[in-house]
Chain A
Amino acid sequence: MKNENGPINYKLWIPLLLIFITLFVIFFTRLNKEGQIKMKVKSTLEKVVEKSDLETVTITYNVIAKKCKDEENCDQKSNNISDFQYVVSCKGSIVAGIDFQKIKVDVDEKDKKVIVKVPDATIIDEPNIHSIKFLNGNELSASELPNARKLCQETVKEKSELDQKLIPAAKEQSRVVLEEFYNQWIKAYDSSYRVVIE
């Protein structure tokens, strides 16, 4: 086989072609591997979230609620029980949730990392109040109980919304499970990788 400039140099072209094919195969295998891991992580994520009931977390939220003697002239920050009409210890719970549809999965080929980014948790629904205990020593009349329960409900809501540790803790709860799950999972799938939950 000849061209206008003379015979084709097979000794040069064949090795070059082989190198090109090898590089092409390596590139696409790597690309494919990254895509495969990403896809596999996402598909197992759905299963683990569903089976582990990870989407919501019920948090025990017990607080102290204070009923002012005079709403117009009341210092809620006072720590003396006798400054209030009554003080109650409320046993309650709140539900926080994470939208797992918003989870992002990235693969860092260089550092051999699978990064799972978990979105922030949010408080779902109104708080539940399970029981009330008056701390002043004397029990109040039965007619005051609904008001005390309402006060508990408002206090739990208010305090949980201001609680700086609550949302990170709810998120951490999911992180712990996902980390344990994927650490076990990646060992079997491809032990050269590690999973980081952010």
Chain B
Amino acid sequence: MRRFIILMVLFLSIFCLTGCRKDKEKVLAENMKKIHLTGNLVTYQAYYHNVLEYDKKAGSGITHLFEEDRKLFAEYTGTIKFGINLSKVKIKTSGREVNVFIPKATVIGSPNVDKDDFIEENFIESREGINKNPITADDSAAAFDKAQAEMMENASKDEELLSKAQERAKVIIEENIKQFSGLNQKDYSVNWEYEQ
């Protein structure tokens, strides 16, 4: 009789543990499906203070006689956002493991360069010919466009900031998983895969 009771207790314990384990896996899998990942997640906004070099070519025609090519320099400021496309994040569960794929961070939207930095007074000029080859509104607009393009190019190549933005995305998603999991952190593990 005593042996029978011990066997019953053991059987029930094993049965309960297996049941609990399966329940936790099910809970985790179901809760992970509740995480909705759409749109862009901005994780870094960088501020830049830059120097622009702009070549102003001499004009053609009688009014531009004796003009010389000039080099113009201007300081400008702007901000640019980095982040990830949430729809590219993949969250999959396997037992009590959560496998997460984080896409590479990219520049989100266009750079926001301050147009007021390109007024005539802000340009530092190289030299003037007999005919001045003055800075016009078109030059200001072209310099602004160049600054926008330059900032975009530099930011897209800035591996340090891109990696920081990706890491911050991980922190946010990790917290999301923690909140939605419905389990104690000890009951599951998260594996991270980063797009290089």
Binding site for B on A (CB under 8 A): 44, 47-48, 51-53, 59-64, 79-82, 87, 89-90, 135, 137, 159-160, 163, 165-166, 169-170, 172-173, 176-177, 180-181, 184-185, 188-189
User: Do B81 and A176 touch across chains, with their CB atoms under 8 A apart?
Assistant: yes
B49 to chain A, nearest CB (A): 5
B127 CB contacts on chain A under 8 angstroms: 81-82
B156 to chain A, nearest CB (A): 14
User: Do B51 and A64 touch across chains, with their CB atoms under 8 A apart?
Assistant: yes
Residue of A nearest to B124 (CB): A79
How many residues belonging to B are interface residues under a CB distance threshold of 8 Å?
Answer: 38
B167: interface (CB < 8 Å): yes
Chain B, residues 110-148, CB within 8 Å of chain A (1/0): the string is 000010000001111111100000000000000000000
- Residue from A137, A163, A177 in contact with B43 in the complex, judged by beta carbons closer than 8 Å: A177
- Distance between Cα atoms of A62 and B45 in the complex (Å): 18
Binding site for A on B (CB under 8 A): 41-51, 53, 71, 73, 75, 77, 79, 81, 83, 114, 121-128, 164, 167-168, 171-173, 175-176, 179-180
A61 CB contacts on chain B under 8 angstroms: 49
Q: Which of A44, A188, A189 has the most CB of B within 10 A?
A: A188
- Residue from A60, A90, A177 in contact with B44 in the complex, judged by beta carbons closer than 8 Å: A177
- Distance between Cα atoms of A181 and B70 in the complex (Å): 48
B128 CB contacts on chain A under 8 angstroms: 80
B75 CB contacts on chain A under 8 angstroms: 62-64, 159
